């Protein structure tokens, strides 16, 4: 009986600790994104967003004939890779989290532009 109680207590503490760690990682990622944005000039950030938009459109077009990019996850990974490489080549600091955020924004903009009016 006592062993079961101790086991349940340990499991509850482990779950609580996992939640705290996940929250801390989320805050750290948001802080890192804000820090990198602050270090980046507005011009660099705009350049990065335009580059990400071009990459997203390229990957979307490539997916029409490349079966490896048929699903959304594969397209996103390809876009992340290309945007990260492009940013490095252009001397723009970029984290995975910021690249992910910018790609999601570019995808949403592209999808909204492709929606039929009305």
- Tell me, yes or no, whether 17 and 51 share the same domain: no
Determine the pLDDT at residue 37.
Answer: 67
Shared domain check, 109 and 89: yes
pLDDT at 59 > cutoff 60: yes
pTM beyond 0.75, yes or no: no
* Judgement on whether residues 70 and 115 belong to the same structural domain of the protein: yes
* Same domain assignment for residues 9 and 21: yes
Q: Are 48 and 34 within one domain?
A: no
Does residue 13 share a domain with residue 69?
A: no
**For the chain, what is the total number of helices (H) and then of strands (E)?**
4, 0
33 and 45 housed in the same domain = no
Q: Which helix (H) or strand (E) holds 11?
A: helix 2-39
**Higher local confidence (pLDDT), 6 or 87:** 87
pLDDT attached to residue 81 = 92
Shared-domain flag, residues 94 and 59: yes
Q: Which domain holds residue 4?
A: 1-39
Whether residues 99 and 50 share a domain: the answer is yes
Burial class (CB in 10 A: 0-12, 13-18, 19+), 60: middle
Could you report the per-residue pLDDT of 40-54, keeping only the tens digit for each?
677 888 888 888 999
Residue 84: the pLDDT is 92
Distance, CA of 49 to CA of 86 (rounded, Å): 11
How wide is the angle at C-alpha 44 spanned by C-alphas 41 and 50, nearest 5°?
A: 145
Q: Examine the domain organization and report whether 78 and 103 are in the same domain.
A: yes
């Amino acid at each position: 009986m006592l062993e079961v109680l101790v086991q349940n207590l340990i499991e509850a503490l482990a779950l609580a600790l996992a939640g705290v760690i996940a929250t801390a990682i989320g805050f750290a990622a948001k802080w890192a994104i804000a820090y990198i944005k602050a270090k980046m000039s507005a011009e660099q950030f705009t350049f990065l967003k335009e580059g990400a938009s071009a990459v997203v459109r390229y990957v979307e077009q490539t997916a029409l004939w490349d079966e490896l990019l048929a699903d959304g996850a594969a397209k996103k990974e390809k876009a992340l890779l290309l945007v990260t490489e492009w940013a490095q080549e252009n001397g723009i600091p970029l984290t995975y989290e910021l690249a992910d955020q910018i790609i999601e924004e570019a995808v949403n903009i592209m999808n909204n532009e492709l929606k039929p009016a009305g």
